[in-house]
Structure 1
Amino acid sequence: MDGFQQAAPDRATVQPGVPARTRRIRLRPILLVLLGIAAGSAGGYYGHRWWTTGRFVEETDDAYTQADAVTIAPRVSGTINDLVVTDNQLVRAGQVLARIDDRDYRAAVAQAEADIAAAQADTGNLDAQITLQQASIAQATADIASAQAALDFARADYARYMDLMRTGNGTVQRAQQADTDIRSKTAALARSRAALEAAQQQVHVLQAQRTRTAAALARAEATAQQAKLNLSYTTIAAPVDGAVGDRSVRLGQYVQPGTKLLDVVPVGRAIYVVANFKETQLDRMWRGEHAYISVDMLPGVALHGHVDSLAPGSGAQFALLPPENATGNFTKIVQRVPVKIVLDGADQPTLAKLRPGLSVIASVDTRTRPEGPLQTLVGETGSGAPAVAARAP
């Protein structure tokens, strides 16, 4: 009796389960229909989105932020006696980064200026000598005129005495004295002319010396200019705005010209994106098309930009070892071409957080081609050569 009573509840508990299973079987088609409707709706939504938008957008995750970093190196040698900046410090263009001990360079400037003064003194002395020699030339010219007049008078005397001697009114001795006087005056005239020639030649000599001293003066001035430049090079300043990176210089270090001290890396709005698109994605890309950038560093933030230019070759062409496909074994690989994307930073304060080398996802909307005559990023010019996009003015 007790066993029967125990079995009865078991049957009572099992029997109600049969209708529940039946209900689940009846609900299954409804659930399948609902799932089908949901899947169809999702497929329709994404299909419509792809048809209207997605098929016009080219996207790649092979993209990185870049900046035109500047390597800072000294132009003169010396010891760093003042290091103004530290690692990762933000600097402005023209801001002093470091200074080299300038005592030797100041001494070089002083010596060059002294050489200039000496050359100027030599030039002035020669100018004075040339002026004095011009006076000597004038005196020699006057002496020639005087000697010529004396010679003319002597010749006239000689003619008179010869006439007197022929008529018997003069002596032979007086005629001989007149002849001797002519010879003396002729020699004096020749001597004056020689003195004039010597004075003129001396002017040429002095002018040549002055040309040499003028060249020495110019050389001294050039040396002084170079010395001043070298002195200015002892102050090392930032050429662009940016942040100090990869600093290897230390206070007291002796540096040589061309030795890398540090890098000044532009940050913020100077950052741009280089996206390596597949060659099959470039057919509809134009300069000026809108680009959307998603940075891993800034989740949930969408940056805006535009296509700026296309590299003149694929990335493989500029590799250290370019591919050589002139062999029997060849496997075609889709090449990637770097595309430069400039960020539109007018209303994007988040650009200040960007740094070069960040991974990004770049998308280009090929429907946003700018109006006006353009050349495609990939295509042919009139000569048949590859054309890099450039908007017509």
Structure 2
Amino acid sequence: MTDAPTTNASPNDELEAQADLQAKQKRKKMLKIFAFIVIAIAILYAIWALVFGNTVETDNAYVGAETAAVTSMVSGQVEKVLVSDTQQVKKGDVLAIIDNRDAKIALAQAEAQLAKAKRQFTQSSANSSSLSSQILISSDDINSAKAQVAQAEVAFTQAQQEFSRRQQLNATGAISKEEFSKAQSALDNAKASVNVEKAVLAQTESKRKAAQSNLDANEALIRGTSQSSTPDVLAAQAVVDQALLDLQRTEIKAPLDGVVAGRSIQVGQRVAAGSSLMKIVPISELYVDANFKESQLKDVKVGQKATLTSDLYGKKVEYHGTVIGFSGGTGSAFALIPAQNATGNWIKVVQRLPVRIKLDPKELAEHPLRVGLSMNAEVDTSTAK
């Protein structure tokens, strides 16, 4: 009977085998942990890509508004100032009053000139009637003068015939020299009478022509017009309208709803036309200029929705808006001293471009903002593509 072969293992071999087994188990465990970490990272990235991958955000954003500059359209001394900084006003509210006495005087003068122009038109119309009457009278005078000329010519003809007979008789000595001289005088007087009557006729015709010329000139001024449409009256009416407008402008009114800011006038101060008096900030029509990095703007488009929070209210209050446009240049391009990258050593700096976001007026009414406040803006690039 033979015995089975036996293996004599030393304690060192057993320890090495056990260490190898533990190392393998440890490597398997590390691989599992690494695989779990990779899977977790992949899942987190997928979640981020789905939830946050379509948004870009910045905390470099500030509230702005199209403020209205209130200026004086007339010059004068400030009589009253009815508002102060931070006061809320409505469109049409009186903000300040300028002394209107000069404007009232100017209006009265303009109205007087208008009345004078209307009276002159009435006078011109009456002159036309008078000149027409003068022409008719001149026509009658001309006819009368023509009759006088004809009568003088008849008398001259008779005197000439009588003189001829007396001249023949005088040649035979049948009449005296005195009688012949009377015939000569009668002929000369008849001839002179003809000349006088012709001169009167010419003078009468000249008067008629002068009256006709005056009538034509007067008619040229008023022909085709009425008292309200003649050029002199229209010009005077325009002066009245301007004076009335200047009088109305002595009451300076708010051009829109908003809050008074930057008031620079006081009672008693004399202001010139065009002087800036104050500003009105329309707090219901605010917008946000969000300065995004140029590397963030690839997918940002007009019309995309945006979510904003203000440092004034914190993250618990959200505003919703819409991208309405992009600035024409970066902030550095419009700086007072633009960067000169073409000179000296140059280090590339990521530029920021202002993106304008219009805010919801209803949300602004619930939580008012003011110009210049800081905002956090986040644009959803998955909308309005």
TM range, smaller chain: 0.7 to 0.9
Deviation digits for residues 251-296 of structure 1 (CA, Å, limit 9, x no counterpart): 343333333322211113x111111122222222221111111211
Identify the residue that residue 332 of structure 2 maps to in structure 1.
Answer: 316
Identify the residue that residue 373 of structure 2 maps to in structure 1.
Answer: 358
Q: Which amino acid is 1:331 matched to?
A: I
Q: In the alignment, does 2:361 pair up with 1:338?
A: no
Identify the residue that residue 273 of structure 1 maps to in structure 2.
Answer: 288
How far apart, CA to CA, are the structure 2 residues paired with 1:254 and 1:306?
Answer: 45
2:77 to 76, 79, 96: 79
Taking a change above 3 Å as real, the CA distance of residues 324 and 160 of structure 1, as seen in their structure-2 partners, is: farther
Identify the residue that residue 374 of structure 1 maps to in structure 2.
Answer: none
Taking a change above 3 Å as real, the CA distance of residues 179 and 77 of structure 1, as seen in their structure-2 partners, is: closer
1:257 to 242, 265, 273: 273
- Whether the 8 Å CA contact 1:267–1:352 is kept in 2: the answer is no
Q: Which amino acid is 1:124 matched to?
A: T
1:98 CA displacement: 1.6
Range that drifts further, 155-164 or 302-311: 155-164
Q: Which amino acid is 1:187 matched to?
A: A
Q: Which amino acid is 1:57 matched to?
A: T
Larger Rg: 2
Identify the residue that residue 379 of structure 1 maps to in structure 2.
Answer: none
Relative to the length of structure 2, the TM-score reads 0.73
- Whether the 8 Å CA contact 1:76–1:230 is kept in 2: the answer is yes
SS at match of 2:339: coil
Identify the residue that residue 55 of structure 2 maps to in structure 1.
Answer: 57
Higher relative contact order (CA 8 A, sep 6+): 2
Taking a change above 3 Å as real, the CA distance of residues 297 and 204 of structure 1, as seen in their structure-2 partners, is: same
Deviation digits for residues 166-207 of structure 1 (CA, Å, limit 9, x no counterpart): 899999767766654543332222111111223234446767
How far apart, CA to CA, are the structure 1 residues paired with 2:83 and 2:266?
Answer: 10
Q: Which amino acid is 1:183 matched to?
A: N
1:338 CA displacement: 1.5
Q: Which runs of 5+ in 1 are unaligned?
A: 1-28, 371-393
> How many pairs does the alignment contain?
338
Taking a change above 3 Å as real, the CA distance of residues 46 and 71 of structure 1, as seen in their structure-2 partners, is: farther
1:89 CA displacement: 1.5
Range that drifts further, 225-234 or 357-366: 225-234
Identical counterparts, % of pairs: 35
1:45 CA displacement: 5.0
Taking a change above 3 Å as real, the CA distance of residues 159 and 273 of structure 1, as seen in their structure-2 partners, is: same
Taking a change above 3 Å as real, the CA distance of residues 117 and 350 of structure 1, as seen in their structure-2 partners, is: closer
Identify the residue that residue 304 of structure 2 maps to in structure 1.
Answer: 289
1:154 CA displacement: 5.2
Q: In the alignment, does 2:235 pair up with 1:230?
A: no
How far apart, CA to CA, are the structure 1 residues paired with 2:104 and 2:355?
Answer: 49
Range that drifts further, 281-290 or 324-333: 324-333
Deviation digits for residues 82-113 of structure 1 (CA, Å, limit 9, x no counterpart): 22223311111111112122223223322332
Q: Which runs of 5+ in 2 are unaligned?
A: 1-26, 170-179, 224-229
1:230 CA displacement: 1.8
Identify the residue that residue 200 of structure 1 maps to in structure 2.
Answer: 212
Identify the residue that residue 200 of structure 2 maps to in structure 1.
Answer: 188
1:246 CA displacement: 2.2
How far apart, CA to CA, are the structure 2 residues paired with 1:166 and 1:323?
Answer: 121
Q: Which amino acid is 2:359 matched to?
A: L
Q: Which amino acid is 1:59 matched to?
A: E
SS at match of 1:132: helix
- Whether the 8 Å CA contact 1:72–1:263 is kept in 2: the answer is yes
Taking a change above 3 Å as real, the CA distance of residues 35 and 235 of structure 1, as seen in their structure-2 partners, is: farther
Taking a change above 3 Å as real, the CA distance of residues 151 and 356 of structure 1, as seen in their structure-2 partners, is: same
Taking a change above 3 Å as real, the CA distance of residues 159 and 326 of structure 1, as seen in their structure-2 partners, is: farther
Q: What aligned pairs does 1:12-91 form with structure 2 within 5 A after superposition?
A: 43-44=41-42, 46-91=44-89
SS at match of 2:127: helix
How far apart, CA to CA, are the structure 2 residues paired with 1:334 and 1:196?
Answer: 93
1:242 CA displacement: 0.5
Identify the residue that residue 8 of structure 1 maps to in structure 2.
Answer: none
Identify the residue that residue 114 of structure 2 maps to in structure 1.
Answer: 116
Relative to the length of structure 1, the TM-score reads 0.72
1:343 CA displacement: 1.6
Q: Which amino acid is 2:47 matched to?
A: R
Q: CA RMSD in A?
A: 3.8
How far apart, CA to CA, are the structure 1 residues paired with 2:206 and 2:381?
Answer: 93
Taking a change above 3 Å as real, the CA distance of residues 90 and 142 of structure 1, as seen in their structure-2 partners, is: same
Identify the residue that residue 143 of structure 2 maps to in structure 1.
Answer: 145
How far apart, CA to CA, are the structure 2 residues paired with 1:68 and 1:102?
Answer: 31
1:49 CA displacement: 2.9
1:316 CA displacement: 2.5
Taking a change above 3 Å as real, the CA distance of residues 243 and 153 of structure 1, as seen in their structure-2 partners, is: same
Q: Which amino acid is 1:260 matched to?
A: S
Identify the residue that residue 8 of structure 2 maps to in structure 1.
Answer: none
Taking a change above 3 Å as real, the CA distance of residues 357 and 37 of structure 1, as seen in their structure-2 partners, is: farther
